[in-house]
Amino acid sequence: MNMKKQLLTLVAVWAIAMTANAQTKGTNALSFGVNSNTNKLSGNNYENKVKSNTFTLGYGYFFKDNNKIGLDLTYGLSKNTYSSGNTNGNNQEQKSYGGNLSYQHYFPLVKTLYAYAGGKAGYAYSKNNTSFNNTNSQVLDYTSNQYAVGAYGGITWFVSKRFAFETSLLSADIIYTKTEQNEVNANNFFTKSESTSFNLSSQGFINNLGFKIYILF
Start-to-end CA span in the chain (Å): 36
- Domains of the chain with bracketed CATH: 2-216 (2.40.160)
Instruction: Find the range with the poorest average confidence among 9-13, 71-75, 186-190.
Output: 9-13
Is residue 133 within 8 A of residue 89, CB to CB? The reply is yes
Q: Is the pLDDT of residue 57 over 70?
A: yes
This model's pTM is above 0.85: no
The CA distance from 48 to 64, in Å, is 51
**Beta bridge partners of residue 181, listed in sequence order:** 142, 193
pLDDT in tens, 130-157: 766 655 556 677 788 889 888 989 899 9
Amino acid at 22: A
The CA distance from 196 to 202, in Å, is 20
